[in-house]
Structure 1
Amino acid sequence: MISPLAKFMPVSKAPPDMRAHAFEKVSRAIGFVAIALPLVCLIAGVIRFIPPNDLQNSISHFYYIPFLGDFFVGCLIFNGILLLFMFHTNGVPVPGWQNLSSRESLMMRFAGVSSIMIALFPTGGPSDSYKKSELIRVFTQFTKDPLQAGEPIAKSTPEFDFQSLHWLLDLYWHQVFAGVMFAILAYFTYCVFTRVHMDSSRLEGDELTPQKLKRNRYYRFFGIVIAFCIVGLVIGVFGLVIPLDTWDHYNATFALEAFALLAFGFAWLIKGRYFTSLND
């Protein structure tokens, strides 16, 4: 545990087994939310039951759609908070997370911050349904009524509109934080989850159990999928192989983001011991 952060985190008095069970529940929650986000957006775009009745160029463009925008923001902030605050051990060994270094604990927190920032700094650019390049949702509205008795009457609700922050949006924070988050998650999936974090994962002579070997194969596969999607997104978004219009026409960004989130989600379900056939 990072010592500067430890003083802000309460020290749990629960025994290691109880804390391990709590970590499993949280890991499952992260996995289910990561899987639900692309699937809900895909279903909504395909069956066209929510305006504007179309599949967007990217998952991030669903930010601008009623209901789905709130769902998108909620999923990112929910997982961001869990990554930011839930996975701390304060030096107490927790089965399943015994070999998590302090540096990696900090990386996980930065992934959580990145997830929240992705929601707070929405994507720009046109989508299949929105052709304008600057579409920023208003979180709260400020309005003034017409003049009454010579004085304008202003409603008390304050206004905060990201439209006034073009100089921040032009720095592509959304893309930067998305890249950082996916890179960290790919590292955790491929490098951290494949370590031996429980004594029950070893047989005599340091040989790994068949279940651990099988889990590691899944972890490495999902880690490679996430890394492949990151590379593909960079190549596609910058038009390095095919024109951007063609890329967007086939919703390639949406597809790669969906595959990355699904790989991330299933890896965390395995880490949360959801699939009993893979558990030791």
Structure 2
Amino acid sequence: MAVTNFIPTIWSARLLENLQKRLVYTNITNNDYEGDVKFGNAVKINAIGRVNIFDYAKYTALPDPQVLDSTQQTLLIDQAKAFNFAVDDIDKAQANVNLMDAAMRQAAQDIKDVIDKFIASHYTYAANAIGDDTTPIVPTATTAYELLVDASTKLDEMDIPSDGRVAIVPPWFHGLLRKDDRFVKYTSEGQQVLRTGLVGEAAGFQIFISNNVPNTTGTKYKILCGHPMAITFAQQIEKIEAYRPEKLFADAVKGLVVYGAKVIRPEALVVITANKA
């Protein structure tokens, strides 16, 4: 790939496409406030309080208008990750594959892994919990589904919409669900797992699997269940640049991705702390 033929917008779009196809935890987020974000930006999010409802009587004057309360939260774009790699001209000439394209795909995969773990770490803000580090749940093939029912019930009690709910589980928990006839396994599971991690439905949740479920040395897995309204996420590919390193015979690409996440509705999240049996 000659640097003179490099088109940044095409490479930027390709990187973003790869990120979107492989991120799992973004399925429990929304991007309502993404817009034109830059590193260091602070996005102000206003939340309106409850509106008073009153009885109406004919020919009776209405009370003075309610002065609405509002609270403000801030989404910080405070994460910045970069890459910088080169493909030697000799390697490029000897290879029968497009090394630069393969390297870009790998860069997307590796950035995905970092972003996924960052979003996963927000389980600490969940307002609802089942089990904890002191008494983690040990699910079995007959109780794994029931744990998701309990999580769904907690969301019901918080008036969280039933449509669009998501649960992100480790592979071993998915294995337990597969042994329960109530688990709805998607027929195209193989392709879905490769592209999105989506494997089926259970207890009103779309079930995604991920190896990035936070855990402590293989125990105390933090299984996050909830609705995308809970976490807002924003990302931006700030720079993609190709260049010829001064001291190398090689083509190089460097890139910068910035992002941030904020739990704005903790009541819409449930975290299950579980040990593998």
User: TM-score band, normalised by the shorter chain?
Assistant: under 0.3
TM-score (normalised: structure 2): 0.25
Q: Which has the higher strand share?
A: 2
The structure whose RCO (Cα within 8 Å, separation 6+) is larger is 2
- Rg larger in 1 or in 2? 2
TM-score (normalised: structure 1): 0.24
Q: Which has the higher helix share?
A: 1
